[in-house]
Structure 1
Amino acid sequence: MSSPQIVWLRRDLRLADQPAFHAAAKLGPVIPVYVLDDERAGDHAYRGASRVWLHHSLESLGKTLGSRHSRIVLRKGDAPQVLAALAHEIGAGCIHALRHYEPWWKHAEDELRDALGDACKLCLYDGNYLLPPGSVTTGSGDPYKIYTPFSKAMLDCMPPRDPLPDPETIHSPDSWPESDDLADWGLLPTSPDWAGGIRAFWDFGEAAAQERLDWWAHEVGAYDEGRNLPSQDVTSRLSPHLHWGEISPAQVWHKLKDKRSEGWRTFAKELIWRDYAQNVIDQFPDYPRKSYRDYDERKLWRNPDAGHLIRADLECWQKGMTGYPIVDAGMRQLWQTGWMHNRVRMIAASFLVKHLLIDWRHGEQWFWDTLVDADYGNNGVNWQWISGTGVDSNMFVRIMAPLSQSEKFDAADYIRTYVPELADLSDAEIHDPPDAKRGAYPAKMIGHKEARERALEAYRSAK
Structure 2
Amino acid sequence: MTSPVILWFRQDLRLSDQAALAAAVHEGPVIPVYVLDDSAPRQWKMGGASRWWLHHSLKSLDEKLRSKGSRLILRRGECALELARLAQETGARRVHALRHYEPWWRNAEKAVGRELDLCLHDGGLLLPPGAVRTGSGGPYRIYTPFYRALMDQMPPAAPTPSPSRIATVARWPDGDALEDWHLLPKNPDWAVAFARDWTPGEEGARANVAAFLDEVGDYPVARDLPSREGTSRLSPHLHFGEISPAQVWNRIGKAPADATIFLKELIWRDYAHTQIWTMPAYGSENARAAFDAMPWRDLREAKTDFKAWTSGRTGYPIVDAGMRQLWATGWMHNRVRMIAASFLIKHLLIDWRHGARWFWDTLVDASYANNSVNWQWVAGSGVDANIFFRIMAPLTQSEKFDAADYIRKWVPELAHLNDHHIHDPEIHGVRPADYPSKCIGHREGRERALAAYRHGKP
Q: Which moved more, 1:211-220 or 1:51-60?
A: 211-220
Quick one: distance in 2 between partners of 1:168 and 1:123? 23
CA offset at residue 140 of structure 1?
Answer: 1.5
**Which residue is 1:427 aligned to?**
419
2:71 is aligned with 1:71: yes
**Which residue is 1:442 aligned to?**
436
2:279 is aligned with 1:284: yes
**Which residue is 1:158 aligned to?**
154
Quick one: distance in 2 between partners of 1:278 and 1:437? 43
**1:17-28 alignment runs, 5 A limit:** 17-28=17-28
CA offset at residue 201 of structure 1?
Answer: 1.0
CA contact (8 A) 2:286 2:292 kept: no
> 1:278/1:296 Cα in 2 relative to 1: closer, same or farther (>3 Å)?
closer
CA offset at residue 233 of structure 1?
Answer: 2.2
Aligned residue among 353, 358, 364 for 2:345: 353
2:199 is aligned with 1:199: no
> Secondary structure, in 3 states, of the residue corresponding to 1:439?
coil
CA offset at residue 161 of structure 1?
Answer: 1.7
**Which residue is 1:334 aligned to?**
326
CA contact (8 A) 2:209 2:252 kept: no
> 1:435/1:442 Cα in 2 relative to 1: closer, same or farther (>3 Å)?
farther
2:312 is aligned with 1:320: yes
**Which residue is 1:233 aligned to?**
229
CA offset at residue 219 of structure 1?
Answer: 1.0
CA contact (8 A) 1:330 1:344 kept: yes
Quick one: distance in 2 between partners of 1:60 and 1:315? 36
2:93 is aligned with 1:82: no
Once superposed, what is the RMSD of the aligned Cα atoms? 1.1
Q: Deviations over 1:124-151 (max 9, x none)?
A: 0000100011211011111001111001
Counterpart amino acid of 2:447? E
**Which residue is 2:135 aligned to?**
139
CA offset at residue 298 of structure 1?
Answer: 5.5
> Secondary structure, in 3 states, of the residue corresponding to 1:429?
coil
Q: Which moved more, 1:210-219 or 1:223-232?
A: 210-219
**1:398-437 alignment runs, 5 A limit:** 398-433=390-425, 434-437=428-431
Quick one: distance in 2 between partners of 1:342 and 1:299? 26
Quick one: distance in 2 between partners of 1:382 and 1:97? 28
| Long gaps (5+) in structure 1 | none
**Which residue is 1:454 aligned to?**
448
Aligned residue among 330, 349, 365 for 2:357: 365
Q: Deviations over 1:243-286 (max 9, x none)?
A: 00000000000112234644x11001000000000000000000
Quick one: distance in 1 between partners of 2:254 and 2:183? 40
> Secondary structure, in 3 states, of the residue corresponding to 1:123?
strand
**1:138-287 alignment runs, 5 A limit:** 138-259=134-255, 261-262=257-258, 264-287=259-282
Q: Which moved more, 1:210-219 or 1:382-391?
A: 210-219
CA offset at residue 436 of structure 1?
Answer: 3.8
Q: Deviations over 1:177-209 (max 9, x none)?
A: 001000000100111111112111111100111
> Secondary structure, in 3 states, of the residue corresponding to 2:186?
coil
TM-score (norm 2): 0.98
TM-score (norm 1): 0.97
Quick one: distance in 2 between partners of 1:124 and 1:441? 53
Quick one: distance in 2 between partners of 1:256 and 1:235? 13
CA contact (8 A) 2:68 2:164 kept: no
